[in-house]
A and B are shown apart, each in its own frame.
Chain A
Amino acid sequence: GESASSSSDSSDSSTDGELMSNEEIIKKAAADGKVGNWGLGNEYEILALLQKYDLPTKYLSEDFTMDGFDQDNITLASAMTYNELGLVKNDYDGGYKYGDTVGTIDMNDEGVAMLEDNIFCTKEFAKQNPNTVKAFLYASMKGWKYAVENPEEAAQIVFDAGSSVSSDHQLYMAKEVAKLVTTDTKGNTVDNYGNMDEEAMQQTLDLCKKYVQLDDSSASSKLEGFTLDDIRDTQYIDEANKSTDGKFGNLEKTDVTIQLKWLPQAQFMGYYVAQAKGYYEEVGLKVTITPGGGDISETTAVSNGTVDFGVTWVANLTSANAGGMELLEIAQVYQRSGLELVYKKDLFTK
């Protein structure tokens, strides 16, 4: 409590100065070498942004906490709207309690947005189990729809399913995730969940080609030649969205597993809701949800058959395919980028 009040004091005292523009903020932070990101395939939007302002594409590594930001080692830090940003602002357990003393820069507004959470499997799996894939997508999207409409309940479901996140943060996250699922990069509302917006997909792929640096020459030339058809197939989600009853004929496989990209939290509430509400059962599937965030990445796990489906970001899927995997995106759950850069206002006043 003490420290929070002291920091808001300092922001009060600095309100007399005028806040810098986004461009100025980015340039100042870059000049100090204090732009932060986690790396590991999360950095391309930041690289694109730096490039946009003709800045050297260097950043510091964030360690999945906001301690570096808190201690001013990083002044312009990457944060997902639904997760880190909530921790920075809010004062529940684990929060840094900055409230409105921090500002953000949105990747969607800057025009460097890349698409994040999707659903994918291997090309071979999709080909051999088309009905299973469609049924899975149908039930999952039904879950997402319910979750987006009832974020409180969804948050509770995820929390009960063994989430590691506090229930306060869970609820915050559910509400923020709902925005990402129902709004596209330009701010328009989306109602056909899981849709693969051509333009946004293409922008993502183009940014990938530009910023994904691969040492492996055969992989990088493969990446160079990719078109959207090499990484996604829209037929499954289209048919799933067309269906009214979720019946797609004989299911080739009924026991399936999905590995998440991260720890169990509201970021993935759609699957937990579909599970809890029995949507998967309704279409005849028995689904196991495996948390991610471990050393065996979702692309690896799907590729080597440990699990059937996975949730990953488009950029990760693209580079994995360039590296030699045969993965296929079958639905795009998040319609806009959830990445923002957060800064303390008092550090960027004129």
Chain B
Amino acid sequence: MIRKRKSIWRRFKENKAVQTVSSVLLPVLFGVLILALWQGQVLHKLFNTDTNTLPLPSRICRIIIDNIPTFAVNALYTVIVAVVGLLVGSIIGYLIAVFAATFQKWGKGGITIVGAFNAIPIVALAPVMTNWTKDISNDPNIRSMFAKTLVVMIVCIASMSINAFRGLTELKPFALDLMKSYAAKKSTVFFKLRLPNSIPYVFTALRVSVPISIISAVVSEYFAEYITGVGREIRENIVLGQYPTAWAYIVVACIIGLVMYGVLMLVESIVLKNRRIK
């Protein structure tokens, strides 16, 4: 009897539809719980803070709803910077990894050097990029966008190149021998073996890069010449002591992050579908 019930539970748990629904439902439920604790000021007791430093969700919502056009414009700029920077940076990072995997003797050193970019703080990178891109365009908005995107890009390069390099080089035993026996060209080995092998690693890198891209976009906006974006608004409002508004923008940043993360998970589940069969 007990066995039976357990197996129903297990079957329920292992059911595909149940799993898909639960992987959305559970975090949402958890989020609702947190929101409730937040609104009920339980979080404030926990963190020993007040409703000014950590404003209530209801107030944050009000502010967002009252200012949808402003928020939308700022969010749009931040999304453009984060997404373009993430994509271009990841592609460059991947290309560096490809280069490094192709010429391993020289490439490994290159990966180390790229890792060094990781160690240059964004607060240093952002003003330097703003300085370097002064001549890009006469339109301050365009050159600011360029500078911000560059920052995000540089930051995303490192995590992608390190991970992708592993994916491109840590192959199953004898897989390389197999390709060698076909006298496969390096490019063929790359497209038929290394590339598919690296896909799961690429997704690991992207999982790390998504939040990094947004936070770098936000921070680089602090330093940009043209005043726009979620990050800039967060800073302005914090300096002005407008915590509720600042938190409204933080929430927007989080929503951007969640959406990007959701898209990533979706793409991952489609791309890696066939590998999940066990």
The reply to whether B225 and A73 form a contact with Cβ atoms under 8 Å apart is yes
B236-267 vs A, Cβ < 8 Å mask (1 yes, 0 no): 11111111110010000000000000000000
A325 partner, pick from B59, B227, B241, beta carbons under 8 A: B241
Q: Which residue of A lies closest to B51 (CB)?
A: A324
Residues of A237-276 at the interface with B, using a CB-CB cut-off of 8 Å, are none
Query: In the complex, which residues of chain B have a beta carbon less than 8 angstroms from the beta carbon of A218?
Result: 59, 62
The reply to whether B236 and A63 form a contact with Cβ atoms under 8 Å apart is no
The reply to whether B240 and A41 form a contact with Cβ atoms under 8 Å apart is yes
Query: In the complex, which residues of chain A have a beta carbon less than 8 angstroms from the beta carbon of B226?
Result: 60-61
A152–B237 Cα gap in the complex (Å)? 38
Q: Given the interface contacts A40-B235, A61-B227, A71-B134, does A214 sit within 8 Å of B241 by beta carbon?
A: no
A216 partner, pick from B63, B131, B235, B238, beta carbons under 8 A: B63
B115 within 8 A of A: no
Query: In the complex, which residues of chain B have a beta carbon less than 8 angstroms from the beta carbon of A39?
Result: 227, 232, 236
Residues of A188-244 at the interface with B, using a CB-CB cut-off of 8 Å, are 212, 214-219
The reply to whether B241 and A297 form a contact with Cβ atoms under 8 Å apart is yes
Stretch in contact with the other chain, from A87-95, A159-167, A315-323: A315-323
Query: In the complex, which residues of chain B have a beta carbon less than 8 angstroms from the beta carbon of A33?
Result: 140
Interface residue count on the B side (C-beta < 8 Å): 33
A319 partner, pick from B51, B131, B225, B241, beta carbons under 8 A: B241
A183 within 8 A of B: no
- Minimum CB–CB distance for A115 against chain B, Å: 17
The reply to whether A303 and B241 form a contact with Cβ atoms under 8 Å apart is yes
Query: In the complex, which residues of chain A have a beta carbon less than 8 angstroms from the beta carbon of B238?
Result: 295, 297, 300
Q: What interface size band does chain A fall in?
A: 20 to 34
The reply to whether A316 and B240 form a contact with Cβ atoms under 8 Å apart is yes
The reply to whether B63 and A323 form a contact with Cβ atoms under 8 Å apart is no
The reply to whether A325 and B52 form a contact with Cβ atoms under 8 Å apart is yes
- Minimum CB–CB distance for A219 against chain B, Å: 6
The reply to whether A323 and B52 form a contact with Cβ atoms under 8 Å apart is yes
A-B contact count (CB 8 A): 95
A68 within 8 A of B: yes
The reply to whether A217 and B66 form a contact with Cβ atoms under 8 Å apart is yes
B187 within 8 A of A: no
B15 within 8 A of A: no
A94–B67 Cα gap in the complex (Å)? 42
Query: In the complex, which residues of chain B have a beta carbon less than 8 angstroms from the beta carbon of A67?
Result: 131
B242 partner, pick from A59, A71, A214, A295, beta carbons under 8 A: A214
Query: In the complex, which residues of chain B have a beta carbon less than 8 angstroms from the beta carbon of A219?
Result: 242, 244-245
- Minimum CB–CB distance for B246 against chain A, Å: 9
A303 partner, pick from B52, B224, B236, beta carbons under 8 A: B52
Question: Top 7 closest A-B pairs, CB basis?
Answer: A320-B241, A323-B242, A319-B240, A324-B52, A323-B241, A40-B239, A215-B67
10 contacts between A and B (CB under 8 A): A40-B235, A63-B225, A68-B225, A215-B248, A217-B63, A295-B238, A300-B241, A320-B242, A323-B244, A325-B241
Query: Residues on A close to B: CB < 8 A?
Result: 33, 39-41, 59-61, 63, 67-68, 71, 73, 212, 214-219, 295, 297, 299-300, 303-304, 316, 319-325
Known pairs A60-B227, A61-B232, A63-B130 / 4 extra A-B pairs, C-beta < 8 Å? A59-B227, A214-B240, A215-B66, A323-B240
